Structure formats: C-alpha cells, structure tokens
Structure 1
Amino acid sequence: MKPIFLLPFCVLLSGCHSSNKTETINPKHTFEFVKETDSTSFIHWTNGKRTFKSSTSVSHHYLDHKTSLQWSNDNYMCLRHPNGSDTWTDLILPLTNNEVKFYENTLAYDKINGIVIYETDSPPYKLIAENIPGKEKQFLGENWKNCSSLFPHYCIDSIYIENKELYVNWVTPNKIDNPHTTEVQKIKLKL
C-alpha cells in the first residue's frame, strides 16, 4: 500500500469502536492480599477514601503475583487471574460493600450499568449476561450455530456492549462441507 493511502486507512482504524480504547485506572484504587492460612487470604482494597476487606477468604489459586488490576471505575475494581489453558477468572471488588464476585472467562463488561458477559458450559447456551449488583442472569446463544470448542471464546471474533445491547461476531470453524461462517448476534440485555 502506498504511503499516501496508508494515512486515511490509519485514521479509519483509529476511529473504530470505543471498546478498543485503553482503560484508565484510578491510581487511588489499590488492593493487597492479607494471608489468612497457607491456602487462603483476604483481599483489602480502597477507592482512596474508604477501605474494604473481603467478607470471606479467597483461595490462593486466584491470588498470586499473576493477579492484576484490569480496570476500575467509581463502582468497581476488576482483578484478573490467569488460570492456564486459556482460561481466566475475574474478581469484581465493589466500592460499596465487601462481597467479592468471581466470573470465569469474562468476555465483556458494561461498566456503567454493572453487567458482565461470561462463558457457560451449560448447553444449549453459550454465554451468560449477569447484573453484578442484583445477580440477575440472562442466558444467551441457545440458537447460535454450534461451536466445536468447549470454550465459546474460540468462536467469538469480537464482542462488546453498547446501550444495553450485546454485539457478538460469532464465527464457526471451517469444515470440509461447510465453509467458515460469521454471524452477527445482536441481543437486547434485559437486566
């Protein structure tokens, strides 16, 4: 591609969907682990004004040097822990109470409305949308084409939430008799 044509292309890419923007983390939002036993710890976290302590202890399986702060806003802090084999756990630390919430293989957040999208292994569904504060759930993907992987994230090209609507580019793998296909799934979240 000639350099003259490259500039408009780069400008077009930089204007793509807002979910690709780098997250900013409030430097006052911090956390630490306080050892309880050889296998568990409590989490202490702060929003810079108020300090919280997890209401129950957390297994060291989720708390070690690999656990990192992914994002934070006025309502939540999100820690992520890689579990190996292409799986991860997000720990949501609310900035209003001491209840730590765990989500396996989280794929998208609506941080304003407190909604999380994560994988499920409960057929025929592929994903779950959950309201973080209310714990209401909406099961998704019942009628989507089957993904050949145990992990639905292998069949997701992109995923994001905008105006309480979930957009998923669902891609089914190549098969000899059925070419690679992409379906855009648009779901109104009712949480």
Structure 2
Amino acid sequence: MKSLFLLFFCAVILGCHSSDKIETINSTHTFELIKATDSTSFLRWSDGKKTYHSSKSISNNYLDHKTLLQWSNDQYMCLRHSNGSDTWTDLILPFNNNEVKLYENTLAYDKVNGIVIYETDSLPYKLVAENITGKKKQFLGEHWKNCSSLFPHYCIDSIYVENKELYVDWVLPNKIDQPNTAEVQKVKLNF
C-alpha cells in the first residue's frame, strides 16, 4: 500500500513540473578569466566553434571565484556574480562579437528575443527592459503602487517574459491586520 501511495505521489509531483521550463547549459559553451592587472581581467569565451575575447578589461569585482555560468543559448552566454548585500551582476557574452554587457540585479530574460529586465534607481520607475543588441530601453513601473522597498526585487513574487510581454506579480505592503496583496502587472515590451 505504501508503495502504491509513493508511486501516486511521485506521479503527481512530476506532473506538476512543466517540461518547457527545463533548461540545460551547453557543455561546449565555456569561459575563462585572463588577468590583465591586479584589478582587471579580460574574458575569453567560446560557443564550441569560435572563441571570443572581451574588447575591454573588466573589473575583478565582477570576475572571481563567485562568477558562475548562469545560462547559455545559441546567441549568448550569461555569467552571474554575487556582489553581496543582496545584489548581483550579470555579464552577457554574445556569440557574434567581443562586447561584454553588464547588468545589475537582473530579474528576467527573454532569451529568444534578447531582452533583459533589471532594476533601476531612476525614480519613479521600478524596472528597465533593454534589448541586448540594440540597447533600446523601456522604463517600467512608473504608475505601479509603491511597495516600500529600496530594492524592487523585494516587491516581486514572480516575474517572467513571454512573447515580448512582461508579467510581474507586484506585492504591496501589508496593512495593519491585513496580509500582503499582489497586483499582476502585464506590460507589452516595445522592441
């Protein structure tokens, strides 16, 4: 009886996970750090066919043992570096040029369309959507209710981009004797 219950439980759990959310990192996508000075380094990365070398040196504040491969696809490789104090930097390495792009506190990606969503300190906005290749920006959240946190990521329950639309579960602060509430923000990205 226990075995039958365990089998049923495992089937339910496995059925809850969507297979389209599974991502793998291509094992031929590699990177290495090349020390330039005591405080800077260059990056070398490969898509398995071609090797790229960063056109500019990068501060070692972003390149050390905490720099990890976050994700990769046919167009980009993303490295993530924890900066401490609940902040992080993503380094985007393209597979078509040598320009490394740095983004602070990245929250979501549309990897197919090359769009990154990250926090901003440009009030009254909360987030920025940026096209990685064209550097076009769209500032977001101007009319969202204030969630009373310095870092917008504390106010986000979930966030994702699908078909050039951003979906954010924006959490509002709890009021006396009332639980937190969330508003779903849906924004069409203009890229």
Q: Same fold (TM over 0.5)?
A: yes
Pairwise CA RMSD of aligned residues? 1.9
Alignment of 1:175-190 (within 5 A): 175-176=175-176, 179-190=179-190
1:100 aligns with 2:100: yes
* Structure 1: runs of 5 or more not aligned: none
Deviation string for 1:109-136 (max 9, x for gaps)?
Answer: 0000000000001111000000000000
Q: What is the number of equivalent residue pairs in this alignment?
A: 187
TM-score normalised to the size of structure 2?
0.91
1:125 aligns with 2:128: no
C-alpha separation in 2, matches of 1:143 and 1:30: 41
Instruction: Give the aligned residue type for 1:127.
Output: L
Alignment of 1:1-191 (within 5 A): 3=5, 6=9, 9-11=12-14, 13-15=16-18, 18=20, 21-176=21-176, 179-191=179-191
Change in 2 beyond 3 A, CA 1:134/1:49: same
Instruction: Give the aligned residue type for 1:10.
Output: I
* Structure 2: runs of 5 or more not aligned: none
**Tell me, what secondary structure is at the counterpart of 1:10?**
helix
Instruction: Give the aligned residue type for 2:162.
Output: E
C-alpha separation in 2, matches of 1:164 and 1:110: 7
Deviation string for 1:81-106 (max 9, x for gaps)?
Answer: 00001100000000000000000000
TM-score normalised to the size of structure 1?
0.91
C-alpha separation in 1, matches of 2:190 and 2:104: 21
